[in-house]
Amino acid sequence: MLATVSSATLVGVEGCPVRVEVHVSSGLPGFTVVGLPDATCREARDRVRAALLSSGQRWPSQRVTVNLAPPATRKVGAGLDLAIAVGLLVADDQLDPGCLVERAFLGELGLDGTVRAVPGSLPCIDALTEPEIVVADGAVVEAQLVGRHRIRAVSDLVTLIKALQGAIGWPEPPPPPLPWPLPPEPNLADVRGQPAARYALEVAAAGGHHLLLVGSPGAGKTMLARRLPGLLPDLPRPHALEATRIHSVAGVPLPPGGLIRRPPFRSPHHGASAVSLVGGGTGAMRPGEISLAHRGVLFLDELGEFAPVVLDHLRQPLEEGVIRVSRAAAKATFPARVLLVAAMNPCPCARGGPQGACRCSPQAQQRYTRRLSGPLLDRFDLRVELGRPEIGELMAAAGGESSAVVAARVREARARALSRGVEANVELRQRQLDDVAPLDAAAARLVEGALRAGRLTGRGLSGVRRVALTVADLASDDPPLGGDHVHTALALRCDPSFLAGRVA
């Protein structure tokens, strides 16, 4: 009369085990789902009923109560369908209770009894402790990434029932899809000239420093930004799993093999809302673009066109590497460790720069500059102003170094960072800087001069030291940091006034 089935649901990007309790008893025929289901989950009763009837099973004309425990956690999506259906069959004595032991079920049901994969299968399966898990064919790749469970893949309810009854053996999981080669990432060799911008890109990749590119249209800002992921090393397995979980939850197609090995690159349009950028939503909490770019690159093109309030939402996650979203109905924490690259025009008419071609009124320019709050600008340790490449550069036959050559240097620099106990120099704490990045006499003098001239703030100083350390890493120089390292870090950091009007 009572059956308890194991399954899981999503809380943010984490899986959460759920016990599905199905109770069938005499009383007025009816079907109730309790335990904080969301709308999709509540509709399970209609899907389960149709699927059972389509599969030739009996529907109990009795009172059916389904409880989803723990009752305080909101259950989202259709992934509990399969567990409810199996629990109902057991509670109605159509299946043997033994088939629920040491086994969990995860999948959505179609009205014809088809079993389908749900978004977020990977974190859900990861949260389950049962040794055997029944999933839809489509979830096998993600399920095998976890690697701890025996995975049973079924395509429809009839097959599942027969397998549980022992009438047939468990079907073979479908063969993994043929690996198709990933499209090649854009190569840095395509960029003609622009040695300073290329170098800034290399430093950003090696040290994980956020990068702001300012320049008129045609200066190649977007082209450069798209080449940044190609300079980053492959994700180590734990990071790859983190990224894959998030993409799985968001329903973004995963690469062949299921694991995201290359750093993701996300470039939301500047019309993006705050929720789409940082995550949230009214029903299910969905990860935002900043989480989809976790361990990869978040590229904000036309930074000046984003709504200022949306941009200010990015400040906290950029600092902490996670974003905590709180809504009335739920709370969630999404990972959000990104390398932020932003591009913007120097002014609204985009003709700005020192050539005197800007047509903006000083007021319009001030408004444009104000869109970018000082604290956000402070997060960018690399700020590079780009001019259009000169004709000679464009016509030069030879491109610069290829991505592979630069990526090799980046790998070595990151290895040095790893020896300091961080992934990249950007993660070094203030305290560590004094130990790992001492300044020699010339560099100290230089920094002092920049502080005195008002070119640097306290926070800016740490940023410059981190960048200078990355510059030294790229050159395979050992600390202490010398004058040239600090010179370079300062050259790659335009003072914030560069956005203000150049007029008088």
Partner 1 sequence: MTLPPEAFATALAGLPRMGPARLASVLGARAPAEAWASVLRGQPWPEPEVRAALGADGAAVQAAWRSAALATDVASVWRRLGDSAVGVTLPGTSAYPAPLVDDIEPPAVLFHLGDLAAIAGRRVAIVGTRRCTATGAGVAHELGRELAARGIAIVSGLAWGIDGAAHRGALAAGATPPIGVVGSGLDVVYPAGQQRLWDAVAESGVLLSEAPLGAHPERWRFPARNRIIAALADVVVVVESHQRGGSFHTVDEADRRGIDVMAVPGSVRNAAARGVNDLLAEGRAPVRDVDDVLIALGLTAATRHRAAADPRPPPLEADRAVLEAVGWQASSLDQIAVRTGRSLPDLAGALDRLCAARWVRREGGWYERTSAGGG
- Separation of alpha carbons 144 and 406, rounded Å: 34
User: Is residue 357 a contact residue for partner 1 (CB under 8 A)?
Assistant: yes
**Which of these, 400, 404, 389, lies nearest to 189 by C-alpha position?**
400
Per-residue binding string, partner 1, 426-465, x by CB under 8 A, is --------------------x--x----------------
User: Is residue 385 a contact residue for partner 1 (CB under 8 A)?
Assistant: yes
Residue 282 amino acid letter? T
489 in helix, strand or coil? helix
Identity of the residue, 110 or 387, whose beta carbon is nearer to partner 1 in the bound complex: 387
User: Is residue 484 a contact residue for partner 1 (CB under 8 A)?
Assistant: yes
DSSP E strands, 355-420: 382-386
Both tokens assigned to 226:
């798209």
User: Is residue 479 a contact residue for partner 1 (CB under 8 A)?
Assistant: no
User: Is residue 387 a contact residue for partner 1 (CB under 8 A)?
Assistant: yes
Least Å distance, CB 468 to partner 1, is 10
Per-residue binding string, partner 1, 121-160, x by CB under 8 A, is ----------------------------------------
Both tokens assigned to 283:
């029903």
Identity of the residue, 336 or 447, whose beta carbon is nearer to partner 1 in the bound complex: 447
- Residues whose CB is less than 8 angstroms from the CB of residue 181 and which lie 6 or more positions away in sequence, other chains included: none
Q: Which of 362, 375, 399, 421 binds partner 1 (CB under 8 A)?
A: 362
**Which of these, 89, 86, 122, 78, lies nearest to 104 by C-alpha position?**
86
User: Is residue 483 a contact residue for partner 1 (CB under 8 A)?
Assistant: yes
Binding region for partner 1 (CB under 8 A) out of 68-76, 160-168, 409-417, 486-494: 486-494
Least Å distance, CB 375 to partner 1, is 19
User: Is residue 490 a contact residue for partner 1 (CB under 8 A)?
Assistant: yes
Q: Which of 113, 186, 287, 389 binds partner 1 (CB under 8 A)?
A: 389
User: Is residue 218 a contact residue for partner 1 (CB under 8 A)?
Assistant: no
- Separation of alpha carbons 240 and 411, rounded Å: 17
User: Is residue 394 a contact residue for partner 1 (CB under 8 A)?
Assistant: no
Q: Which helix (H) or strand (E) holds 47?
A: helix 44-54
Identity of the residue, 261 or 455, whose beta carbon is nearer to partner 1 in the bound complex: 455
Angle between helices 44-54 and 157-165 (to 10 degrees): 70
User: Is residue 53 a contact residue for partner 1 (CB under 8 A)?
Assistant: no
User: Is residue 471 a contact residue for partner 1 (CB under 8 A)?
Assistant: yes
Q: What string of DSSP letters covers 190-254?
A: G--S-HHHHHHHHHHHHH---EEEEE-TTS-HHHHHHTSGGGSPPPPHHHHHHHHHHHHHHTPPP
- Separation of alpha carbons 504 and 501, rounded Å: 8
- Residues whose CB is less than 8 angstroms from the CB of residue 175 and which lie 6 or more positions away in sequence, other chains included: none
Q: Are 210 and 341 in contact (CB under 8 A)?
A: yes
User: Is residue 502 a contact residue for partner 1 (CB under 8 A)?
Assistant: yes
Identity of the residue, 59 or 498, whose beta carbon is nearer to partner 1 in the bound complex: 498
117 in helix, strand or coil? coil
- Separation of alpha carbons 22 and 311, rounded Å: 47
Q: Which of 27, 30, 195, 399 binds partner 1 (CB under 8 A)?
A: 195
Angle between helices 458-474 and 441-452 (to 10 degrees): 140
Least Å distance, CB 206 to partner 1, is 13
User: Is residue 222 a contact residue for partner 1 (CB under 8 A)?
Assistant: no
User: Is residue 52 a contact residue for partner 1 (CB under 8 A)?
Assistant: no
Binding region for partner 1 (CB under 8 A) out of 136-144, 312-320, 324-332, 480-488: 480-488
- Separation of alpha carbons 292 and 250, rounded Å: 8
Identity of the residue, 121 or 365, whose beta carbon is nearer to partner 1 in the bound complex: 365
User: Is residue 485 a contact residue for partner 1 (CB under 8 A)?
Assistant: yes
Both tokens assigned to 400:
């610069």
Per-residue binding string, partner 1, 363-382, x by CB under 8 A, is --------------------
User: Is residue 356 a contact residue for partner 1 (CB under 8 A)?
Assistant: yes
Beta bridge partners of 344: 214
Least Å distance, CB 302 to partner 1, is 19
- Separation of alpha carbons 92 and 109, rounded Å: 19
Alpha-helix runs per DSSP H in 55-175: 81-91, 121-127, 140-146, 157-165
User: Is residue 488 a contact residue for partner 1 (CB under 8 A)?
Assistant: yes
Site residues, partner 1 (CB under 8 A): 193-197, 199, 214, 351, 353-360, 362, 383-387, 389-390, 392-393, 446, 449, 471, 475, 483-485, 487-488, 490-492, 494-495, 497-499, 501-504
